[in-house]
A = this chain, B = another copy of it.
Amino acid sequence: MGPVPEGAEAYRREFPTRVTSSAGQADRRPGIKDVAAIAQVSVGTASDALNGSGRVASRTRARVRQVAEAIEYRPSTLARSFRTNKSHTIGLSIRPFGGAPWQYLAVSYYARLLSAATAEALQRGYALIVLPPNTPQILGRIVIDGAIIADPSPYDLLTDELDLLGVPFVSDLSRMDDPAALCVGNDHAAAVTTVCAHFRSQGARSVGMLLSDGTEDYNTRSLHGYQTWCARNGAPVRVERASTVDPVAMAKAADRLMTGPDRPEAVYTTEGPAGHLLQEAARRNDLRVPDDVLLACAEVPVAGREQLDLTTLNLNAEHVAAQAVDLLAQTLEDQHPIDRHRVVDTTLHVRGSSTRTTSS
């Protein structure tokens, strides 16, 4: 018999049922010691040969690899992860939305974030695990190297547990005061300012704001940006808030912005799905868009985007995801990124709902 037995058959012939304890189960997956035994090297050498550490003769490496291929050896990812203390997985937690905890995929921003984060992570050799928000217990069962917390509520329970476990995570700009924190997000204050300026350029003197009643960072920043703009431009502040969970409440809030003698000449909402609620409210109140009131919203459900002819603020979820994954990956690979706070630009897509056709 030659020194290099080839194929799984030869392997089985030479090592018939290598099982130690319970007889009969010859179907156990081959381990690295099987490879080593057949290739007539030690496990250490086999490991080096397979991982290409360079310190093994090319002839023996070839032999070891040949054997590994022949018996279809696959290293145990579990053991390897354990040994290297890396699982190559990152968690992504998205805040609850619309009552149901997983409703968020209906919001284009989060769907895009998830897609892009998954793609970007995989490209770098990480898999993405979808985590529930506010459920730190899950971290006791599963393994992640790092995490991305999208739009955490100010007291998200996950973050504390992650800190305790020493798992690095990226969150939004709400943690910017901590220079060590990893932050990626939009400058929502600037975004709102852009929208308001656009409204004004179209002749609107007053702008109303439809906000969620949540306490996420984007909410507070958007509100702050709005208030600042109003103050600087001598415009009245007109804010309505309602729970994102409750479309009826949202619709009523929209109605409040469309009625009364002092109703604003333009309305913006940070809640994408509320975009068409604004359109419906305008219709209910016999206001023509854009003639009587200008409208815009941040993101919008994917389908029917064009049909709605709605001016939108693109938060560039793909960029956010890419930056977040990049920042996390660098940190996990001990590259100590210098720019740990990253602000992603927003883009205003002007469409019919905010373009004055007749001068007022």
* Contact code string A69-84 (vs B, CB < 8 Å = 1, else 0): 0001011011101100
Please, how many angstroms separate the alpha-carbon atoms of A12 and B29 in the complex? Answer: 44
The count of chain A contact residues (Cβ–Cβ below 8 Å) is 51
Interface of chain A, main secondary structure:
mixed
Chain B residues positioned under 8 Å from A102 (CB to CB)? 115-116, 118-119
A21-74 contacts to B (CB < 8 Å)? 29, 72, 74
Asked, given contacts A29-B166, A111-B105, A302-B106, whether A78 binds B81 with beta carbons under 8 Å apart, the answer is yes
A135 to B118, CA, bound (A): 14
From residue A293, how far is it (CB to closest CB) to chain B in Å?
A: 21
Please report the C-alpha to C-alpha distance between residue A104 and residue B145 in the assembled complex, in whole angstroms. 27
Nearest B-chain residue to A102, judged by Cβ: B115
> Are A164 and B72 closer than 8 Å at their CB atoms?
yes
Query: What's the Cα separation between A273 and B304 when bound, in Å?
Result: 11
Per assembly, the copies of the chain total 2
State the CA gap A291–B55 with chains docked (Å).
77
Say whether A303 faces chain B, with CB atoms less than 8 Å apart: yes
A141 touches B105 (CB 8 A): no
Complex CA gap A79/B127 in Å reads 19
Residues of B within 8 A of A132 (CB): 118, 122
- Given A78-B143, A82-B78, does the pair A129, B304 have CB atoms closer than 8 Å? no
Chain B positions within 8 Å of A88 at CB level? 141-142
Question: With A and B bound together, what is the CA distance between A142 and B127 in angstroms?
Answer: 7
B129, A89: Cβ atoms closer than 8 Å: yes
Not counting A106-B302, A127-B142, A301-B303, a sample of 15 additional A-B residue pairs whose C-beta atoms are within 8 angstroms of each other reads A29-B166, A74-B164, A74-B165, A77-B140, A78-B85, A78-B87, A82-B82, A87-B142, A106-B111, A106-B303, A114-B130, A122-B132, A127-B131, A128-B130, A302-B303
